[in-house]
Chains A and B, each alone.
Chain A
Amino acid sequence: PRSWEISNSWVYISTICGVIAAWVFFVVSFATTSSV
């Protein structure tokens, strides 16, 4: 079975998706926020 078919791995998949989404937001914020 693929990972998304196993209920145990939903937690880890959601972690990865969350980190990626937060990272994209972080990169955009970092690039458009001044350091002062």
Chain B
Amino acid sequence: TDFQEAFNISKKAYFAQVNNNPRLKLIDTFCFFLVLLGIIQFAFIVLIRDNFPFNAFLSGFIICVGQFVLLMSLRLQLGNSFPCISKGRPFGEFVVASLILHFICLHFIN
């Protein structure tokens, strides 16, 4: 019962926080769909029982995982920012890192 209660309170707090901040909602929704895409790719492999071509599978999977990680690091910095770091910097870093990730995945798939 205690666990159930704690879980419900956490869930309410989370949704309250996310509903008040559209940017958090953007990030969390994107993360959820990235997980879905990863599951779809994995289901494809399980269905055909083959991961050929392996580098293409890795590319597809890594872009989901990598983007998820970058979104999480952006989300962590959306809260109280550090006094010496401007607020635009986390977003800038996210964009640059995402571009690098996309290039690596497109390069690796071939």
Binding site for B on A (CB under 8 A): 2-3, 6, 8-9, 11-13, 15-16, 18-20, 22-23, 26-27, 29-31, 33-36
Does A26 lie within 8 Å of B91, measured CB to CB? no
Interchain residue pairs A-B with the least CB separation, the first 4: A12-B60, A9-B56, A15-B60, A12-B56
Does B23 lie within 8 Å of A11, measured CB to CB? no
Distance (Å) between the CB of A4 and the closest chain B CB?
A: 9
What number of A-B contacts does a CB cutoff of 8 Å give? 77
Q: What secondary structure prevails in chain B residues at the interface with A?
A: helix
Does A19 lie within 8 Å of B37, measured CB to CB? yes
Which of A12, A19, A33 is in CB contact (< 8 Å) with B26?
A33
